[in-house]
Amino acid sequence: MISIYPMTFENKPYFIYWLAESEHLGITDGGSVLYQEKLNRNRRTEFLKQEIDDELWEKIIEKELNLKQLSDTHVTISRGTRSIELKAEKDFGKVLMRVMGKLVNVYNKTKISASPNKEDIPKPKASPIKKTNFAIPLKKRILEYRDEIID
């Protein structure tokens, strides 16, 4: 199972993800960078200073983990005063392809929820072409259209 959550760092969008089967925690911007580290149950317990179940771990990932520092070689994630480093992946194509479908869905939901006001949502443009009413004879429709153009 893959869980992905949006976050921002220095006004740039990032996504934190958890690969439950392989116990990998990662951060990506969706294309150019990916940081990842295997966090088995013992490392998670050490990081959080408490033993937790998988459901609580995912809630902590979603709501409490923050990006603290970002570099070319690693990223530091913190929860309160505790922090952990994830190393940069050099060949991350396979991993990124694995999460890309879910990542796109999360990104689209994030963009929609970022503008909850109706004023922010763009309205569809009206089509300049009128819908044809086939109940009106063709000759009459042509005459009406010609009159509209002349006016």
Query: pLDDT tens for residues 93-125?
Result: 766 776 666 666 666 665 545 444 545 555 555
Mean pLDDT of the chain: 78
Residue 60: burial class (beta carbons within 10 Å; 0-12, 13-18, 19+): middle
Task: Kindly state the average pLDDT of the residues 62-90.
Answer: 90
Residue 105 is which amino acid? N
Which ranges in 18-137 belong to alpha helices (H)? 41-48, 54-63, 93-113
Gap between the Cα atoms of 8 and 10, Å rounded: 7
Which pair of structure tokens corresponds to residue 10?
A: 């220095």
Query: pLDDT tens for residues 12-28?
Result: 888 888 888 888 898 98
**pTM greater than 0.85:** no
Looking at the DSSP bridge assignments, the partners of residue 38 are: 24
Residue 18: burial class (beta carbons within 10 Å; 0-12, 13-18, 19+): buried
Per-residue pLDDT for 87 more than 90?
yes
